Amino acid sequence: MASSVLYSNIGNPPTQIIKGEGHYLLTEDGLKLFDATSGAAVAALGHNNPEIKAAIVEQLETLDYCYLPFFTSAAAEKICSFLTESTGGEMSKVFIVSSGTEAVEASLKMARQYFVELGQLPRTKFIARKQSYHGNTLGSLATGFHKGRRAIYEPILAANVSHVSPCYAYRGCKSGESDEEYVNRLAKELEDEFQSQGPDTVCAFIAETVSGTTLGCVPPVPGYFKAMREVCDRHGALLILDEVMSGMGRTGTLHAWQQEGVVPDLQTIAKGLGAGFVPIGALMLNKRVVEVLSRGSKAFVHSQTYQGHPVACAAALAVQNIVARDGLLDNVKLQGELLGKLLQERLSGHKRVGDIRGRGLLWGIEFVKDKTTKEPFPAQEQIGQKIHLKGLEPKYSISLMPGPGIVDGKDGDIILIAPPYTVSSADVKHIVNTIAEVPSGRYLSITRKRDK
């Protein structure tokens, strides 16, 4: 029977998953796939966790829903307190939504409102980075920069955004250039962009702390965010860090900025917050922003029906309690180091593997047609998608996430590896061994024999 679900590929339904169990997804065809990407870097605890189920049921039995603008709930209070405390009080208020996109959208509106409260009405613009992803609504899509995703919506995008280069050492750093020189060059580019936009017209610079799929798990070079923060501070603009993918433990600390020596003014989180058990995201506000709001209109001119949903909040709190109780951030660091080391050992010598990079349990392998020139594969080859589909074959049985268009929004491929925080060393070895054996058609053939 034809499906009524609107998939991304209308004519081609994806595999149906009938059950999730621990690190595995069971398919309708009887396969047991290792979920090496936790969905889209979401399922931090794996699947079907009895403690989270119990927390959800308990919340449903107590209070299923209340409308947050009118009422609050213990669940919303608790998860927001947990989140502000986890930042050492740097962030002092949290606005709970249902997705990463909504958190980013709220951050743009909050940034604008902040300057309205300050009477700086000409501040209406944003500076973001090329090859970034911040979501799919008309404001968040405007801040992201993936040509393919934006193309047909360009005329109706809803925020005034210009874009500077991302911090992408593999392609951005010139030969012989030190990290410091590279950072200085990127800081100058941001400074120049402020000047060309008019420094007093910019609300904020927005960036992913560790970039996700659109660039492919690229951590910043040391000192990058400190330098960007300085440029923002010089012009009184806000720094928004989008940690929808890299935050909530994925890169080894609860917040990715905790490894960068900067504190954002606004921060978005989502995926690891509810770990996929419920749809949840959040915007976190620095105390500096809260202070301005408290002196001004005292209200965020933005609300949503499912804001602070009690069931989502209770599930997220249960997830975060498990992450803390079971020392999972330490495991993310430990297994992340092993994952990076094994990927380098097994794959860096391969003629089609241009770069392997990542942090914690967020790793990307960038494939190139020519390793010397770094020429990417053309988009129509769909290299990442081919690897993903190969991985679903019975002898590999692994779910890997493709990231197309990383070089210029059209060409260039990565696969993303982001397993649950609960993986063991044996799981990590299994992931790397399987990836090393997944041949991907005549272009890649990542078999060790042929490439040695």
Q: Which CB, 94 or 347, lies closer to ligand PMP?
A: 94
Rounded least distance, CB 85 to ligand PMP, Å: 24
Q: Cβ closer to ligand PMP: 146 or 171?
A: 146
- Minimum CB–partner distance for residue 211 and ligand PMP (Å): 7
Please give the Cα distance from 67 to 183 (Å, whole number): 45
Six-digit token string for 138: 């008309």
Task: Tokens 């189920």: give the residue.
Answer: 53
Cα(86)–Cα(92) distance, rounded to whole angstroms?
10
Closer Cβ to ligand PMP, 86 or 98, answer by number = 98
**How near is the Cβ of 450 to ligand PMP at its closest, in Å?**
34
Least separation in angstroms between residue 126's CB and ligand PMP is: 14
The backbone region for 250, taken as left when phi is positive above 0, alpha when psi lies in -120 to 50, beta otherwise, is alpha
Distance (Å) of CA 335 to CA 109, 202, 219, 256, 417: 38, 40, 17, 17, 12
The residue ranges that bind ligand PMP (CB under 6 A) are 40, 99-101, 104, 133-135, 208, 212-213, 242, 244-245, 270, 281
Helix ranges, 118-223 (H): 138-143, 147-150, 169-172, 179-197
Instruction: Kindly give, in sequence order, each residue whose CB lies less than 8 Å from that of residue 162, ignoring residues fewer than 6 positions away.
Output: 125, 126, 127, 128, 193, 196, 197
> Could you give the 3-state DSSP secondary structure of residue 106?
helix
Considering the complex, state which of residue 86 and residue 99 has its C-beta at the smaller distance from ligand PMP.
99
Q: Output the CA torsion sign for 107, 110, 116, 118.
A: negative
CB of 144 to ligand PMP, least distance (A): 8
Name the residue nearer to ligand PMP (CB basis): 136 or 344.
Answer: 136
Closer to ligand PMP by Cβ: residue 418 or 435: 418
Number of residue whose CB is nearest ligand PMP: 100
Q: Of 249 and 281, which CB lies nearer to ligand PMP in the complex structure?
A: 281
The half-sphere exposure of 426 on its side-chain side, counting CA atoms within 13 A, is: 1
Q: Smallest distance, Å, CB 113 to ligand PMP? A: 20
| Beta carbon nearer to ligand PMP, 279 or 296 | 279
Residues in CB range of 310: below 8 A, 6 or more apart: 59, 62, 63, 64, 65, 66, 73, 75, 76
Helical (H) or strand (E) element with 24: strand 24-27
Q: How far is the CB of 148 from ligand PMP (least distance, A)?
A: 15
Q: Tell me how far, at minimum, the Cβ of 323 lies from ligand PMP, in Å.
A: 19
The number of CA neighbours under 13 Å toward the Cβ of 275 is 29
